[in-house]
Structure 1
């Protein structure tokens, strides 16, 4: 599994930039996606993947271990889905 440092090295090699500049690119990308998700918007990068905020209505749920019924408040759920052609 690659970590952020490994990804920075790959981008630096591919783009012919320093590791510091590649680090700034990665940080800008992640902070941009975080900002959009925090605003409950979605990001669709064709050929890469989709980062999505989905609104979920309030609902009741039964806890399996106790049988107690609880109310789950309305909220946004965040999802990430890779593009199907990313591995090609």
Structure 2
């Protein structure tokens, strides 16, 4: 598995730039996606994937191990869905 530094190295080589500039690009992308997700909005990048915020209504759930019923408050669920084209 690659980490952020490995990704920075790959981008720097592909774009023929410094690792410092590539790191700024990666950091800006991450910061941008985080900002959108904090605002409970979604981002779609054609050919790459989607970062989705879905609103979930309040509901009751039964805990399987105890049988206790709990109230789950309304909230936003954040998901990442990769495009099928990404593996091509």
TM above 0.5: yes
- Name the CA distance, whole Å, in 1 between partners of 2:43 and 2:85: 17
Query: Structure 2: any 5+ residue segments left out of the alignment?
Result: none
List, as ranges, runs of 4+ consecutive aligned residues in structure 1 with deviation greater than 3 Å.
none
- Name the CA distance, whole Å, in 2 between partners of 1:80 and 1:65: 29
Q: How many residues in Structure 1 have an aligned counterpart in Structure 2?
A: 88
- Name the CA distance, whole Å, in 2 between partners of 1:80 and 1:4: 17
Q: CA RMSD in A?
A: 0.3
- Name the CA distance, whole Å, in 2 between partners of 1:54 and 1:36: 13
Query: Structure 1: any 5+ residue segments left out of the alignment?
Result: none
Deviations 1:5-24 (A, max 9, x none): 10000000000110000000
Q: Which residue of 2 aligns with 1:19?
A: 19
1:8-87 correspondence runs (5 A): 8-87=8-87
